[in-house]
Amino acid sequence: MHSIHRRNLAEATSEPTSRHGASLPAGRLLPLLLLAITMFFIAPLPAQGSPVPVRFAEGMVRGFLELSDADGKRIASGDFLQVPRGGELKCRTVLYFKDGSLHDESAVFTQERTFLMKNYHLIQKGKSFQEEMEVSLDRAGGKYRVSVGKQGQEKVLEGKLDLPLDVYNGMVPTVLKNLPEGAREKIHMVAFTPAPRVIELDMVPDGEDRVLVGDLEKSADHYVLKPKLGLLKLPAALLGRTPPDNHIWTITKDVPAFVRFMGPLAFGGPIWRIELASPRWPK
């Protein structure tokens, strides 16, 4: 099921006929075409990449986060946590939604001259997400496991991927903070649709924006993150699931710091905004 010969793809895209030689209705042609294209492109292709050099070594970090919808309404609160452990670091972003949903994403990485992701784990559950999902990805052997659906009704995908050295799931803000000023960079991500696929992510600088920290005005570098689907572009467009650009703002002067993220947290999901939050004393 993970591949299909080009000859079979050509047959699938020609005008299909019934057992008696009559043409199938046009309304049934598109689903067959989409199925053939999806089956053809589902097998992962090897990708090349260079890991990003470490300019600022990471350490123990905790930041408070707020998640807002497109109207600016706060829908979740949470934490960014980063802890060194035995020569590795684990970073975790956890968001608790008001409706009881959960987004819990973590990555373990090393920073010996370059950043290298070792493993990745993602949990998304609750009605804020179109599909409940749990994902695990391990660089050792490229093993992945994707569980989709509610407990007791899960569909499980397991297998192996050829992972480039610059796959950075769960740690894009960390990598971005380490780019030289105004630098453009290409890295790789594993997109879970829910079948996993290694895609390229183009990180493009887009100027500076003003941001206020209390009464102080700061300058934040704006980066646009452009997913490059490659061979998946056509089937994604036909299915109406082409992912939008994401946006990240960081303050880079003196000590780099994350400021804001805008984009979907799940494939095909709504555009949300993650920002740093300050503790407030209850009245």
Question: Taking residues 61-67, what's their average pLDDT?
Answer: 96
pLDDT band at 231 (very low <50, low <70, confident <90, very high): low
Q: Which of 46, 51, 49 is nearest to 162 (CA)?
A: 46
Amino acid (one-letter) located at 83: V
Residue from 93, 91, 101 nearest 69 by CA: 101
Mean pLDDT of 180-191: 93
* Residues of the chain above pLDDT 70, percent: 78
Residue 245 CA to residue 220 CA, distance in Å, equals 18
For the residues 75-96, what does the mean pLDDT come to? 96
More confident residue, 244 or 48: 244
Q: What is the structure's pLDDT at 230?
A: 63
pLDDT of residue 151: 81
What CA dihedral angle connects 99, 104, 171 and 112, to 10 degrees? 160
Q: Is the pLDDT of residue 253 over 70?
A: yes
Distance between CA atoms of residues 40 and 7, nearest Å:
11
Average pLDDT for residues 116-138, to the nearest whole number? 96
Is the model more confident about 283 or about 178?
178
pLDDT average, residue stretch 180-196: 92
More confident residue, 30 or 222: 222
Per-residue confidence (pLDDT) for residue 241, from 0 to 100: 56
| pLDDT score recorded for residue 165 | 95
Residue 161: what pLDDT? 94
Residue 231 CA: distances (Å) to CA of 64, 223, 224, 228: 38, 25, 22, 9
In the prediction, which pLDDT does 24 show?
Answer: 41
State the pTM of this model: 0.79
Whether the pLDDT of residue 35 is over 50: the answer is no
